[in-house]
Structure 1
Amino acid sequence: MTPLQNPFSMPIAQLGASIITLGQILAFLALAFSVLLAATIATLWRAARLRAHAATEAADNARNAEARMAEILHSQAQMQGRMGAIAEMFNSRQAQLTQSLNQRLDAMSGRLGHSITEQTRTTHENLARLQERLATIDSAQNNIQALAGQVVQLQAILSDKQTRGAFGQSRMEAIVADGLPMGAYEFQATLSNGSRPDCLVKMPNATPSLVIDAKFPLEAWNAIRAAETAEEQKKAAQAFRRDIEIHIRDIADKYLLQGETQDTAFMFVPSESIFAEIHENFEALVQRAHRARIVIVSPSLLMLSIQVVQAILKDARMREQAHVIQGEVVRLMEDVNRLDERVRKLHSHFGQAAKDVDDILISTTKVMKRGEKIEALEFSGAAEKTTDRDDPPSSRAASSKTGQLRLRIVEEPEEANNA
């Protein structure tokens, strides 16, 4: 074969021992083109498939997105409806809450106003009471100040022996004057020996009088109260005991007179505390006074003794008036006897009156029975004939002149007449 007949056999290149011809190159190129075409077709097919798949996925995604969008729109519509309902409910609740708050605020305002009014009224009342109490406290303070002034005056009075004696004398006189009637006592009376006791109580039935002395020594007692040390208190107690013993002896010597005064006299102590102190700490003085027939009395004991004397005087007056009372009782019994006789006469009169009333009642009963019989009248002649035949022999009939009226009289039995 010639080169013109087979151009594809023409060598083009040589690689070592191998000769590369045009046909081989063309075949290699054709094969490469085929492979490239196949690869391109495969790539295009794969790309078309991928695009179709992507389009399908995009369509699916678009459908899903549309469905989700629809769901979102539906959910949004539902949410908007719910939000509207919630807004309406919120508005309604807000209106109710506002109304409730307004009502509560109004009620609270009313209660607060009422409470403020009550508190104001209570405050005014408390202030008024406080003012009254302050006025009472001011009055009490004034009274305390006045009492303090009186205490100062009393201290001034008790600081002097004469004024102190006048104070005890005034208390004793007040107790005696309140408990005994006028004429049953005498102040500053003079006895046969020339002494003048503070009070002389006159006893009944011409018995001797009772002497009361009110000159109690208080200097030593004040010294006891003013003592600061044991030694001073001991000396003051000894002076007090000595003064009391001297006073007891003076009362016994001056006021106990045979046949003129009682054999017992009262020594008046114008203070209950001093009386209690004497009986508690100075028992020997009490025994000495008892042996001297001197009775130490406090204001309360003197008041009790005066009441006993008053009872004795009253009993004596009752005994003096006993014969008068007996005469009055006799006359009273005579009056009672006359009253009894008159009551008995009145009782007999009442019995006779009761018998007369019973007789009158019997007579009125008979009259009523006869009136009932008179009411039974007959007005026919036939009845008269029938009555004449039927009447018993003991009945009498009275006829009228016209012959129309007939009165039938029935005599009562003898027992009824006797009744």
Structure 2
Amino acid sequence: MVPLAATLAGALLLGAIVLALRPRGGGEGMLLLAERMEALSDRLDAAVAAQNERLGRALAENADRTQDSARRIHERLAVIDAARRNIEALGGQVTTLAAILGNKQARGAFGEVQLRDMLADRLPAEGWAWQHTLENGTRCDALIRLPFPPGPIAVDSKFPLEGWQALRRAPDDAARAAAERRLAADIRKHVEDVARKYICPGETAEGALIFLPSEALHADLHALFGTLVAEAARRGVYLVSPGTLWAVLGAMRALMRDVRLKAEAQQLRREVARLAEETERLDRRVANLKRHFAEMQVDVQQIEITAQRITAAGARIEAVEMDPAPPARAAE
């Protein structure tokens, strides 16, 4: 708009200069100058109006785009703020979990809670017991009530994690070797304790489970101490992680279901046998009733025959004519 105005102003100025340089001869020059100035003014007004209209449309479009961009930025800021809150909450949970795993008693309670939740989710209420005391006086964390064979299986959830944590934090090879020796000793001792306390011939199965609350711990033990894990299995002690215990509990639940179905089938067979006995008894009683009914029919027939004979005898008695009495003698 500014170049157009400058052009029109220059044209007006040029026209005024030309008219001023002409000889002064009358009002025709002034009139012509006024007409041209008026025409140029109209053109300038029209150009300014058109330019203002275009500028207004451009400003409106820019304002709409700015508002749309601001709205999208606000939405993205809201998403970022929600993500920030989630990250802060997750950080707090991680801190809490680290505090739990750093405390031995809290870590044991965490493993017990995890084990109990899995048992309650996968097995029926009558299929397991919590904090069960065995006949030798030992209290196991859980007892899975499987039928013989194999029998009830005791579960322990208090595996020592200090050696494993030291192994994960070992700064050099020497510290790592010392941590591996400590962890191997912890594994061997814990397996011996579980085998001695939780495997009771005649009361439990010939094996017990050690629940490891971490998949990473389970993987490290099998990768670094495979010999000890195999030795524990030979003694009937099996190390299970949450994933493997989940699968084992699924198999145990299927076994419990099969046992329950067999028990229900046996109960059904007993009920069918009782029903057959009752059916035979009913047949005998119906046969007796038929015999009594037949005898009753014979008795009724005999009664009818006797009644007919009595009726006939009565008729004969009525038909008998008695002789008339002799006349009395006349008085002499």
Q: Which bracket does the TM-score occupy, shorter chain normalised?
A: 0.5 to 0.7
Aligned to 1:261, the other structure's residue is in SS state coil
Q: Which residue of 219, 243, 250 maps to 2:162? A: 219
In the TM superposition, what is the alpha-carbon distance from 1:268 to its structure 2 partner? Answer: 1.0
In the TM superposition, what is the alpha-carbon distance from 1:276 to its structure 2 partner? Answer: 0.7
Distance 1:111 1:304 in 2: 67
Equivalent residue for 2:103? Answer: 159
Distance 1:298 1:136 in 2: 34
Structure 2 letter corresponding to 1:143: A
Structure 1 letter corresponding to 2:69: T
Label 1:93 to 1:295 Cα distance change in 2 as closer, same or farther (>3 A).
farther
Deviations 1:271-324 (A, max 9, x none): 111111111111111211121122110011111111111111122222222367
Q: Which runs of 4+ in 1 moved over 6 A?
A: 91-98, 324-328
Distance 1:258 1:111 in 2: 91
Distance 2:57 2:106 in 1: 72
In the TM superposition, what is the alpha-carbon distance from 1:131 to its structure 2 partner? Answer: 4.2
Correspondence list, 1:272-351, <5 A = 272-322=215-265
Deviations 1:36-80 (A, max 9, x none): xxxxxxxxxxxxxxxxxxxxxxxxxxxxxxxxxxxxxxxxxxxxx
Does 1 or 2 have the higher relative contact order (CA < 8 Å, sep 6+)?
2
Aligned to 2:207, the other structure's residue is in SS state strand
Structure 2 gaps of 5+ residues are 1-37, 273-332
Equivalent residue for 2:188? Answer: 245
The question of whether the paired residues in 1 share the 8 Å contact of 2:170 and 2:179 is answered with: yes
Q: Which residue of 171, 175, 182 maps to 1:232? A: 175
Distance 2:266 2:54 in 1: 90
Label 1:151 to 1:189 Cα distance change in 2 as closer, same or farther (>3 A).
closer
Q: Which residue of 210, 213, 225 maps to 1:267? A: 210
Deviations 1:368-414 (A, max 9, x none): xxxxxxxxxxxxxxxxxxxxxxxxxxxxxxxxxxxxxxxxxxxxxxx
Q: Which residue of 50, 69, 87 maps to 1:122? A: 69
Q: Indicate whether 1:209 and 2:152 are aligned.
A: yes
Equivalent residue for 1:48? Answer: none
State the aligned residue count: 237
Equivalent residue for 1:85? Answer: none
In the TM superposition, what is the alpha-carbon distance from 1:92 to its structure 2 partner? Answer: 9.8
Aligned-residue CA RMSD (Å): 3.2
Aligned to 1:193, the other structure's residue is in SS state coil
In the TM superposition, what is the alpha-carbon distance from 1:139 to its structure 2 partner? Answer: 2.1
Structure 1 gaps of 5+ residues are 1-90, 329-419
TM (normalized to structure 2)?
A: 0.62
Label 1:289 to 1:94 Cα distance change in 2 as closer, same or farther (>3 A).
farther
Distance 2:204 2:40 in 1: 109
Distance 1:95 1:325 in 2: 110
Distance 1:113 1:298 in 2: 65
Q: Which has the larger radius of gyration?
A: 1
Equivalent residue for 1:169? Answer: 112
Distance 1:133 1:203 in 2: 51
